[in-house]
Homo-oligomer: A and B are copies of this chain.
Amino acid sequence: MLRLKTDPMKRHQVTIIDIAKELNLSKSTVSRALTGHPSVNAVTRQAVLELAEKLDYQRNMLAISLITKKTNTIGIIVPEFYSSFFPNVIMGAQEVAGKAGYNTVICQCNESYETEVANTKVMLANQVDGILVSITKETRNFDHLKIFHRKGIPIVFFNRVCDEMDVPKVIVDDYDGAYRAVNYLLEKGRKRIAHLAGPSSLKISEKRLSGYKAALKRNNIELDEDLIISYDLSMDKVKIYVNHLLNLERPPDAIFAVNDPTAIEAIQVIKKRGLRVPEDIAVVGFSNDYASGLIEPSLTTVSQPVKEIGQTAAQLLIEQISRDVSDWKTIIRVLKTELIIRKSS
């Protein structure tokens, strides 16, 4: 529970009153000078500004926000900080938000639904003007997010979106990316391509899986359900699944992983077993994380325009914020992916 008692020592904050007294002015005049209101004597303004500077006066945004009902703050909720993906998206979003005069408060959920719910409450209590969110792998119920919608606080999804809410979303063409990746493997002569898929609760998993299936079908390869493993993205399980695949009577000659961390982990396991990548088994990932270009062999992967995802999402959110609820758009912005061919395939 939250503690509330006022600080015993009361740090002294410099307030408008302080500078009003000092300069023998009314609070309103000082306030006007500080906010750049035109109707205030140039000399007075100058004096106020100088004193403010000298005293390290900082406007109390809490008080201002209380009045204006605007905090100029947007919240960003991401499921994890494990890979470089989300930090980079955040950088893109912060860039756009910052330029538009918005602050950002960031919450990371450790892939936990509970934490996500708690984080939304925090955002609400702190009166953010809008939120950007990518859900956790556990999130199946969206009531905590629908509240925002109901309260008229704009929300924009990115990457891991919520299907049942009619709000703007920024995604990449996961289906197409997966399709092209698998298609490439087939062109290179691979016959048995396994897929380490993500949890079906995430739309991106589903789309990447469809792309995978479509590519097989297009190339007249029969789908072998044994080669598809859906897992919950906990890295420690990758080892088990990859070993399982390699132990099959007819093991795969390629693995298409739902994301880069999975692919990277898979490569480690394969190498540890003394098999060669890509000679014995090719590996392709999804996202083009920072580490992908560094591992040996370097990872072939479907690159996402990470920064652009963040920028676009922030852009859409800011547009919504200045719009009336009744006027909200439910744009879905689909960004393009690119197949980065490296040595692992």
- Please give the residue numbers on chain A whose beta carbons come within 8 Å of chain B beta carbons, in ascending order: 1-13, 35-36, 56, 58-73, 81, 84, 87-88, 90-91, 94, 101, 103-106, 108, 110, 121-122, 124-127, 147, 150-153, 264, 268, 290-291, 294-297, 324-325
Contact = CB atoms under 8 A, between A and B. Distances in A.
Nearest to A151: B11
A61 B127 contact: yes
**How many copies of this protein are present in the complex?**
2
Contacts of A81: 87-88, 90-91
Given A5-B68, A62-B62, A126-B61, A12 B106 contact: no
Contact of A56 (B2, B105, B151): B151
A85 to B, nearest CB: 11
A243 to B, nearest CB: 19
A139 to B, nearest CB: 18
Given A1-B101, A81-B91, A104-B105, 16 more contacts: A6-B67, A7-B70, A11-B152, A56-B151, A58-B125, A61-B127, A62-B127, A73-B126, A81-B90, A84-B84, A94-B108, A103-B122, A104-B106, A105-B105, A296-B296, A296-B297
Contacts of A6: 67-70
A146 to B, nearest CB: 10
Which of A12, A67, A150, A291 counts the most B-chain CB atoms under 10 A from its CB?
A291
